[in-house]
Structure 1
């Protein structure tokens, strides 16, 4: 049987303090992230990266000097490879730092795969994330003059095993007392313009949360968005503002669930844990918890396996 290449696609993160500035340059050079005239995109990206690098460096020092996303994504790839048979080759393609998409494609060529399945580690589709990763793969694909059939998994926000993985993770991290907490689902925000243009991201986030909460009928909850990175209008409410609002309403036990993330990075380890943890305490919330990301939780890896096998027709 022909070997199938499976490309796990993720954002990537700096794997050292020295990698922060080039990582930021790659991020802000992406027209899907910041829409500025293409002729000046890279010079502006260089300037933004230079300005933000020192401040961002402080975040990563508090996180241990690097993002753990690469190691965690490789661990997910290993777990998925073990679930699949030898007719599959699972590789990792990061969008903004090593291992880059080109490195992943070179490995697939070496493995002599006969078809490719693109599997983003973004459960909810947005052209700023999944769409950008697909575009980069297509660029490399054309550059290397490949002619392999390519299949794309666009989203899996409502896959039963994805939902089950979150339900089990919440119960695992909170224990038997989960009913005592208010659940605040936090997702990465997007420019409002992107949503108005038809991007399904926000609706898919809402659907995921609704399906998860069917398993917690007695728990109060809401959805908020974090990590705004430019001055244009982004989708709201913002997570920090929602934390303050909930504190004012008298919420004392708050659990934040990073619904759009499947691995740890600065948005979870620094923004949610440190920044918003301190904000919650200052606002009067006495018990602030954050559910961990799915990483290689068994039901999540099983969901990825089902997605691959379905797309491969097996």
Structure 2
């Protein structure tokens, strides 16, 4: 029986305190994310990773000693495998920590798949995320001399099921009083230079927010960016600064929506849940709620199934469902 391989792609995260430094080294060694001159990138990445590992170790201690992203991504793969059935082989390729892309490709080879669909768990396309994951996949693919047909799903930021999944999450977690909350969407920031070079990430984030807000006509809202990691100019406003601004304007009920994330990690569990919550409370915001990521919500798994069934033909168009 001919099988189709489905590769769920994500960033990955350290699965122990000892893994923090090598994870960060892999991250900062990626020229698609950090543009250090290639001749010195790896030595500089090693130095940065050593310094940041000590700082971020505290984050992971608060999170139980590791990132939960691996377990949550494997659960997404498990749920997707259930709904797709035996004609598919769903595997996971993390960019910066286990299971690496090479491990995913080995699984596909062992299962003798006849075609491959690359399905990033980044809803919004950027060369720094989806683009980097694709590039790593083809590096492994070519190294192994494969000739299996490959199809790519580049983004699904405006798919009706993606919007529905977020709308349901927000309403479920805020309850009947959801209209009373200011909705602050928080996305991972990127260097402005990358956007000016034509990267669609910012415009896709903005479109997702606009489509979600069509379901919340009575709520006020804003979009901000978090997790800057280098001294160059990054997308603004920053989430922490926006929280202070909203507090100064008298906002008392704030819901933060991590629009660019589909699983939990340090940016949500530490940055939003601990650091920014304390900031909000200190500034007078009485009710601070962070909407959880989509993880394996039934609507999100249905979305992934539909994307696979389209055979890689969805490239950001709004489909009728």
Structures share a fold, TM > 0.5?
A: yes
Aligned to 1:252: 252
Distance 2:52 2:199 in 1: 28
Distance 1:99 1:259 in 2: 25
Equivalent positions of 1:207-226 (< 5 A) are 207-226=207-226
Equivalent positions of 1:173-188 (< 5 A) are 173-188=173-188
Deviation string 1:277-306 (CA, Å, 9 cap, x unpaired) is: 000011110100000000000110000000
Distance 1:295 1:205 in 2: 18
Number of matched residues?
313
Runs ≥4 in structure 1, deviation > 6 angstroms? none
Distance 2:245 2:102 in 1: 45
Aligned to 1:142: 142
Equivalent positions of 1:117-132 (< 5 A) are 117-132=117-132
Aligned to 2:98: 98
Aligned to 1:243: 243
Aligned to 1:30: 30
Shift of 1:263: 0.1
Distance 2:191 2:304 in 1: 28
Distance 2:33 2:64 in 1: 27
SS of aligned partner of 1:251 = coil
Distance 1:29 1:176 in 2: 46
SS of aligned partner of 1:311 = coil
Shift of 1:42: 0.5
Q: What is the TM-score normalised by the length of structure 1?
A: 0.99
- The 1:246–1:312 alpha-carbon spacing in structure 2 relative to 1, beyond 3 Å, is closer
Tell me how large the CA RMSD over aligned residues is.
0.8
SS of aligned partner of 1:42 = helix
Deviation string 1:155-187 (CA, Å, 9 cap, x unpaired) is: 000000010000001111111110110000000
SS of aligned partner of 2:134 = helix
Deviation string 1:123-162 (CA, Å, 9 cap, x unpaired) is: 0000000000000001000111101001000000000001
Deviation string 1:198-222 (CA, Å, 9 cap, x unpaired) is: 0000000000011001111000000
Aligned to 1:298: 298
Aligned to 1:66: 66
Aligned to 2:317: none
SS of aligned partner of 2:50 = helix
Q: What is the TM-score normalised by the length of structure 2?
A: 0.97
Unaligned runs of 5+ in 2: 314-321
Aligned to 2:17: 17
Aligned to 2:163: 163
Distance 1:173 1:151 in 2: 36
Aligned to 1:206: 206
SS of aligned partner of 1:260 = coil
Distance 2:134 2:99 in 1: 16
Aligned to 2:87: 87
Aligned to 1:39: 39
Shift of 1:312: 6.2
Deviation string 1:226-268 (CA, Å, 9 cap, x unpaired) is: 0000000001000000000000000000000000000000000
Aligned to 1:110: 110
Distance 1:64 1:95 in 2: 22
